[in-house]
Structure 1
Amino acid sequence: MKPFSSALFYLMITATAAFASEASFEKNIARGIAAIESADYPAAVQEFQAAVNERPDDPEATLYLGIALNRARDKDAETVLKKALAMAPDNPRTNMELGILYFNRQIYAEAADYFDNAMRIAPGSELSAAAEEYLRLLRGADGEKRWWLKFMTGMQYDSNVVLNADGTPLPQGISRKSDWRGIINLRGNYSIAKNDQGEATVGYSLYQSLHTRLDDFNITQNLVDVTGRYDLSPLFSVKAAYTFEYLLLGGDTYDYAHSAGPSFLISEGEGFSTVIDYRFRDISFRNTPLFTDNTDRTGTNHQVGITQNLSLATSAAARVGYYHDEDRTRREFWDYSGDKGLAGLTFVLPLKLVGDLYGEIYNKRYRGTDPSSGVKRDDTTYTGAVSASKFFAERYSLTLGFLYTRNRSNSAPFDYSRNITSLFFNARF
């Protein structure tokens, strides 16, 4: 499979935005385009690099530099193109060029994602037709992958070990003990069916924690999910998901749960999008030697929320959201109404680093009187997290993270603070 003719290439490098008025900047861009058209890629890289040095936040100059590096098969092409994508996530040319990069590297699953994005952003255009042709070649390629696999492993130091894996509710009691633990997380996904308007996938995830001292808090979590997505238009998509969870705590069955619900994605363009979610969760808890009254919390949860994704002027993206949920159990003192506000920021740093900041406030108002304190519980949980990921090669990264949680409760047994420091190695295949 080979890249297309010079007509497609010309489409990829034709400028649509007005350049800066400075003559040197304009000349660098013009000379860079001319060098690419004459296949003098080193000269093109030099010209576009000069333009980027003059205007580091210019998305068009960054895109041109990424294109030149990609044509030169330079290993930095991926980093520069992803920086251009962070500056303008809904630029169809950037998505197309990343698709070509992964196509040439035979990373077909990644290539298909970016070609799909180019078609979604610029439907009916020449660029969309070119992306569709690449996808047709991918569908006919023996090497096309319909699956992906993610592996994560590392260590955490937890100042106050509680059961808190993937949103699982807090158990009756908190260890108030610190410990180190190793983490292994394996996730896989397979595309059952896919066409130009949607996709159906099935996935599996295994999460295992191994504490150095508090073995009773070791978690084994198995998740199976089935997801379907249908694009009603280039700007509106519907997604439905079902998840089954089976969790063991200290080797004993702790809970199993069924979750299902739809999501609605609205794309406003220029990197802005809105996601509206609803989830129904039916969970059955089991008593364990550590939590002898765990079955009291068996019940259902309804959650609805909205998240707004925003593309910022520089190489950063933000998200804000609000969620409301209602939990109903076998005992009224475990029933609650909850409200959560969240905000996050992801940004590109030098040296192939990606930073992430996240914060949320989650208030839970319980319906019944807590037997341990004689009051109706009212908990407000404040969570803040910061992480930095270093990417190397094409599939690997290291992530250093810190998370702080402060749960303020009018019931003393549930008033606590917690911090977790993490170091993880990540791989994707």
Structure 2
Amino acid sequence: MFAAAFLVVMVVPVASASVQSELAFHRGVVAFGEDRLDEAKQQFEKVVAEDAEDTTALSYLGLIAQKQDDPKAALDYFDRALAIDPDDAETQLDRGIALMGLGRIDEAQQAFARSSELAPDNARAKLFSGIAAYRSGDHEGAKPHFVRAAELDPELVDESRYYTGLSETVLGNFDAASASFAAAAEQSPLTPLALSATNFQQQLVAAALDERPWRFQMTGGMEYDSNPLILGESVSWLPDPDGRVDGRGVIRMRGDYAILAGDWGSVTAGYDGYYSFHLHDTEVNLQTQNPWISGGYELGLFRLGLRYDFSYTFIDTSESFRMLNRVTPSVSMHQGDWGVSYLYYQYYAADFYNDPSNSDIYELSGDSNLVGLNQFFFFPDPPFSYVRIGVAGEWLRTDGTEWSSDGIQALAGAGYDFDYEIAFSWLYRFDYRDYQNPSDLSDPDFPRTRKDYRHSLTLALSKTINHHWEVSLSAALTWNESNVKFYQYDRQVGGGYVTYHF
């Protein structure tokens, strides 16, 4: 009777402890799955306190330590579990990850090899074998591991391609690396791994483009114009004060080729082309061909620059309209990473043909002298990219008495870079022009020398799709105030464009 009672007393506490341990284990699993790591750790420690040889609880404690960025503690738990069961493939794998976190790459590779030996089709073991090989410097040897991991588990395809891209980059196989990064980002483009892969791919493409001596891009778009001017670019003809709405298709082509380049500076030749096709005022369709050449010489903090442009414009598609020669010497001073100052002088001579006014008074041919200074401030942290301010003075003399003027210009602008390769910029300009002769369009009884005050605001929004394609929107708003009523007008231009970079 006494023996039986003693047996009951001994068995009941053991059974009760076993139940408590089982409950603690399940609570730990649930807490771990919900990322409540401290609570999970407490529950698994209760299990281990009850049974020091519970390898599963020890492995969970190791995984918790890994998630809490404590690879040393994680390794201790995995070693304790493997001392009990050395043939557990998953624990061997987790032990290798902990060793890799401690920088013990050779030991990590041995652990991954042992895990693969115990479970030949373990895809994670293959993936981490490749990562360890990559970190050890065996970039060529890492690639077969990534290929095998992707074959064994489709869910590891993106990670395998990502690390394949890293390996190919180090090996100098940039085309293969770019293809691997693009494939890694294709399925889930907004995941952190995909965004990193996209960033690496763009850097590779940018590096390849930087090594190329030439660049070329083509832009096509449609524009709305509330009050089109006859030249459509930078030189104003008689605006319509009442406004006339028009739309036009535009094509722009830009390219350049580095003839010479080195630490001393560079010499570059290029081409800008512009075509417009109006929906209504087809007689002012424009075609401008603008070849140019530019050179720069580095002189310490300073860069001496010189550029020459030759521009020829046709109106109504094929009729000669304007020929322009422009020379721009400049001096820029770099202020480290935070800014640059740009001082320039510009001279141009323009000849106009087929003057629609048939009057010497409105003859636009002449020359201009312009001096300006721009200051750029750069910002390393987004969204701010740069801030720009500037001032310029111009002295324009034309064959016709209506257009000769002196002018002052002030400007301010800024650029912003946002997530997902989105950029935004704005630029405000104020122009004051003091014309030299009484205007032919002022009141004949009270002839006035014309004075204009022009305000303009340009907005631009662009989105880079990939290293070839870009889409953009822009708007240009102009308000011109004048003491000669005919020249007082508003103008709003807006457009959408698609650009392809070759």
Q: Does residue 335 of the first structure (1) align with residue 434 of the second (2)?
A: no
Q: Is the 8 A contact 1:345 1:357 kept in 2?
A: yes
Who is 1:160 aligned against?
227
Q: Does residue 226 of the first structure (1) align with residue 293 of the second (2)?
A: yes
Structure 2 gap segments, 5+ residues each: 1-67, 70-99, 106-130, 137-165, 171-176, 183-194
Q: Does residue 243 of the first structure (1) align with residue 347 of the second (2)?
A: no
Who is 2:497 aligned against?
424
SS at match of 1:387: strand
Q: Distance in 1 between matches of 2:279 and 2:434?
A: 35
Who is 2:437 aligned against?
368
Q: Report the residue type matching 1:388 in the other structure.
A: L
* Residues 1:288 and 1:396: Cα distance change in structure 2 (over 3 Å): same
What is the deviation of 1:32?
9.6
Q: Report the residue type matching 1:191 in the other structure.
A: A
Q: CA-to-partner distance for each residue in 1:110-162, whole Å, 9 max, x for gaps?
A: 334xxxxxxxxxxxxxxxxxxxxxxxxxxxxxxxx321111010000101111
Aligned equivalent of 2:393, options 324, 328, 331: 324
Who is 1:186 aligned against?
253
Once the two structures are aligned, what percentage of the paired residues are identical?
Answer: 22
Who is 2:364 aligned against?
297
Q: Does residue 353 of the first structure (1) align with residue 422 of the second (2)?
A: yes
Q: Distance in 1 between matches of 2:304 and 2:197?
A: 30
Who is 2:459 aligned against?
386
Q: Distance in 2 between matches of 1:300 and 1:422?
A: 31
Q: Distance in 1 between matches of 2:431 and 2:475?
A: 19
What is the deviation of 1:286?
1.6
Aligned equivalent of 1:254, options 317, 321, 345: 321
What is the deviation of 1:80?
5.2
SS at match of 1:170: coil
Who is 1:46 aligned against?
none
Q: How do residues 23-172 of structure 1 correspond to structure 2 at under 5 angstroms?
A: 39=134, 74-75=181-182, 76-77=195-196, 98=203, 102-103=206-207, 107=208, 110-112=209-211, 145-167=212-234, 169-172=235-238
**Higher relative contact order (CA closer than 8 Å, sequence separation 6+):** 1
SS at match of 2:402: helix
* Residues 1:379 and 1:333: Cα distance change in structure 2 (over 3 Å): same
Q: Report the residue type matching 1:258 in the other structure.
A: N
Q: Does residue 414 of the first structure (1) align with residue 487 of the second (2)?
A: yes
What is the deviation of 1:202?
1.4
SS at match of 2:453: strand
Q: Distance in 1 between matches of 2:332 and 2:414?
A: 20
Q: Distance in 1 between matches of 2:437 and 2:355?
A: 24
Who is 2:376 aligned against?
309
SS at match of 1:216: helix
Q: Report the residue type matching 1:340 in the other structure.
A: Q
Q: Is the 8 A contact 1:383 1:406 kept in 2?
A: yes
* Residues 1:38 and 1:268: Cα distance change in structure 2 (over 3 Å): farther
Q: TM-score, normalised by structure 1?
A: 0.68
* Residues 1:253 and 1:292: Cα distance change in structure 2 (over 3 Å): farther
Q: Is the 8 A contact 1:355 1:389 kept in 2?
A: yes
Q: Distance in 2 between matches of 1:311 and 1:291?
A: 49
Q: Is the 8 A contact 1:241 1:262 kept in 2?
A: yes
Aligned equivalent of 2:265, options 171, 178, 198: 198
Q: Report the residue type matching 1:384 in the other structure.
A: L
SS at match of 1:102: helix
Greater Cα offset, 236-245 or 342-351:
342-351
Q: Report the residue type matching 1:260 in the other structure.
A: V
Higher strand share: 1
Who is 1:131 aligned against?
none
Q: CA-to-partner distance for each residue in 1:376-409, whole Å, 9 max, x for gaps?
A: 1111111112121010111210001111110111
Q: Is the 8 A contact 2:377 2:387 kept in 1?
A: yes
Q: Distance in 2 between matches of 1:289 and 1:164?
A: 12
Q: Distance in 2 between matches of 1:364 and 1:342?
A: 15
SS at match of 2:238: coil
Q: Distance in 1 between matches of 2:462 and 2:259?
A: 31
What is the deviation of 1:271?
2.7
* Residues 1:248 and 1:292: Cα distance change in structure 2 (over 3 Å): farther
Structure 1 gap segments, 5+ residues each: 1-22, 25-30, 42-66, 83-96, 113-144
Larger Rg: 2
SS at match of 2:363: helix
SS at match of 1:332: coil
Q: Distance in 2 between matches of 1:259 and 1:333?
A: 22
Higher helix share: 2
Alignment RMSD (CA, Å): 3.1
Q: Is the 8 A contact 1:378 1:409 kept in 2?
A: yes
Q: Is the 8 A contact 1:396 1:425 kept in 2?
A: yes
SS at match of 2:413: strand
What is the deviation of 1:81?
7.9
* Residues 1:372 and 1:39: Cα distance change in structure 2 (over 3 Å): same
Q: Report the residue type matching 2:492 in the other structure.
A: N
Q: TM-score, normalised by structure 2?
A: 0.59
Aligned equivalent of 1:216, options 250, 265, 283: 283
